[in-house]
Structure 1
Amino acid sequence: MTSNPGCSACREGKGLDFPISMAFQPIVDLRQGLVFAHEALVRGSAGESAGSLLARVDADNRYAFDQSCRIQAVEWAARLQLPARLSINFMPNAVYRAETCIRATLEAARRCRFPLERIIFEVTEQEQVLDIPHLTEILRAYRAQGFMTAIDDFGAGYAGLNLLADFQPDLIKLDMDLIRGIDGDRVRQVLVESVLDMCRRLGIEVIAEGIETRGELECLRQMGVGLFQGYLLAKPGFESLPEVHYPA
């Protein structure tokens, strides 16, 4: 039986051939007036954009990139003494066996003394997931380790309701295109209200991401959303924890 290239890279200790670092953006709980989590966002070593790095990711280095991002996120979180949860994005198509591919994250967390129960793993809907049962297996394995789980960009991509039917994460993040200008768009309001009702019945917490205006924030607060992320509250801080601007 031929081994997956990612498993081989893990055994042989192959790393990423270009440097990366991290920026952090808060997810704010406005019901309690505190930071719920910080999302780790990949950047170049000099602050280059995530897009410029993702353009260099292909089938040959996807596994190494995914692993490097996880380790950098944990190391920087520990270095910055992150006071809240740490949300880490992962690439489901880079995970071959969940129990094996999580080892580097576990080792980094133990080495840095970062509590495992404060880690959230986010899967983005914008990466085409070719094998939904495999993704479900990954998320269940992560939950069994004590991690929280989240679906990012909900409403934008490939998994959506099919994934929710088989696995209910702790959190979903509404895609920013779905909530852009929602305070003046009745259709978007109806769609988001339906998602919120579904999530309440399933016991899933909702995060509104990409909040840029006070109108968007107030509209979503009135609908019952409590967790927010976006430039209105704080822009990502490169290798730092940015100050949160709480609305009056």
Structure 2
Amino acid sequence: MQRPDVLFDETHCGQCACGEGLDFQFSFAFQPIVDVSDNTVYAYEALVRGLQGESAWSILSRVNEQNRYSFDQICRVKAVKLAAKLGMDAMLSINFMPNAVYQAEYCIRTTLAAAQTYNFDTRKIIFELTEGEDLSSIDHLVSIIKAYQGMGFSTAIDDFGAGFSRFNIMTASPPDLLKIDMGLIRDIDRKPNKQAVVNGIITMMTELGGRIVAEGVETVEEYAWLKGRGIRLFQGYLFARPGFETLPEPHFPDIG
């Protein structure tokens, strides 16, 4: 599909020319992804919220075929602008919609312009794909991942193991980060079947040279089991809840 040129316009509240036709506004909450090898914040994931902190669903339910491209582009600009305003010095993880990216090199222009305007290092940006999105072409997704990695961005697949696992992506163009779905994480310390699956994912990513993020971690027992398997990047309520337009300080449980 042909799209109009994308031009960043700082004068329109951090939006861009591609935002025409988007009839709702939104902001972000940030949740830390922590590195327990040195008890630091590795990244903050930008989670879409309403202007008063309303749920992600209150915004995402309004995204459709007609406004998906504008929404995806504006998400990037707003996330970069707010991260810069808050003085974020960790990585910034931005969820993107592959079906809104018709050509990676072209659609990235707005992100690059925003990063330059707000003095945010593009090498600190992670583009995160939600694994469950309905994709018409795996080849298209692989081309996006390769293009973003070639431009110096990090890439991640979110919710891996949620039921839409795309192992063909892993063989064609593995991401830098693989986020294990919280459904696999929950009660993993006492679920042998989940343990077997996660052990396999750990082996796969180790051999592919990528890193794993265990997301949705809520209990010390889950954390201890996963850390004992060599995972070092974690995200979840055990460490910090998302903070609306703030950068929450994480808590690091002592598991001995």
Taking structure 1 as the reference length, the TM-score comes to: 0.95
Query: Percentage identity across aligned positions?
Result: 52
> What SS does structure 1 have at the residue aligned with 2:28?
strand
1:57 to 63, 82, 88: 63
What displacement does 1:157 show?
4.3
> What SS does structure 1 have at the residue aligned with 2:4?
helix
1:167 is matched with which residue? 173
Deviations 1:183-220 (A, max 9, x none): 11000001100110111111010000000111110010
Distance between the aligned counterparts of 1:128 and 1:217, measured in 2?
31
| 2:17 counterpart of 1:13 | yes
2:125 to 107, 119, 130: 119
Unaligned segments of structure 2, at least 5 residues: 8-15
1:29 is matched with which residue? 35
1:156 to 128, 151, 162: 162
Distance between the aligned counterparts of 2:163 and 2:70, measured in 1?
24
Distance between the aligned counterparts of 1:24 and 1:119, measured in 2?
14
| 2:50 counterpart of 1:44 | yes
> What SS does structure 2 have at the residue aligned with 1:231?
coil
Distance between the aligned counterparts of 1:60 and 1:206, measured in 2?
34
Amino acid in structure 2 at the alignment position of 1:238: F
Amino acid in structure 2 at the alignment position of 1:246: F
> What SS does structure 1 have at the residue aligned with 2:129?
strand
How many pairs are equivalent?
244
Distance between the aligned counterparts of 1:159 and 1:174, measured in 2?
11
Deviations 1:156-206 (A, max 9, x none): 143521110101111100000011110110000011001101111110100
| 2:221 counterpart of 1:215 | yes
- Checking the alignment, whether the CA contact within 8 Å between 2:97 and 2:129 is kept in structure 1 is yes
Distance between the aligned counterparts of 1:74 and 1:199, measured in 2?
28
- For 1:62-141, list aligned pairs within 5 A: 62-141=68-147
What displacement does 1:109 show?
0.3
Deviations 1:65-87 (A, max 9, x none): 11111111100000000020101
- Checking the alignment, whether the CA contact within 8 Å between 1:9 and 1:64 is kept in structure 2 is no
Higher helix content, 1 or 2? 1
- Checking the alignment, whether the CA contact within 8 Å between 1:129 and 1:158 is kept in structure 2 is no
Deviations 1:211-246 (A, max 9, x none): 011111001011111100000100000000012111
Distance between the aligned counterparts of 2:5 and 2:68, measured in 1?
11
- Checking the alignment, whether the CA contact within 8 Å between 1:27 and 1:227 is kept in structure 2 is yes
2:193 is matched with which residue? 187
Distance between the aligned counterparts of 1:226 and 1:187, measured in 2?
22
1:234 is matched with which residue? 240
Taking structure 2 as the reference length, the TM-score comes to: 0.92
Amino acid in structure 1 at the alignment position of 2:105: E
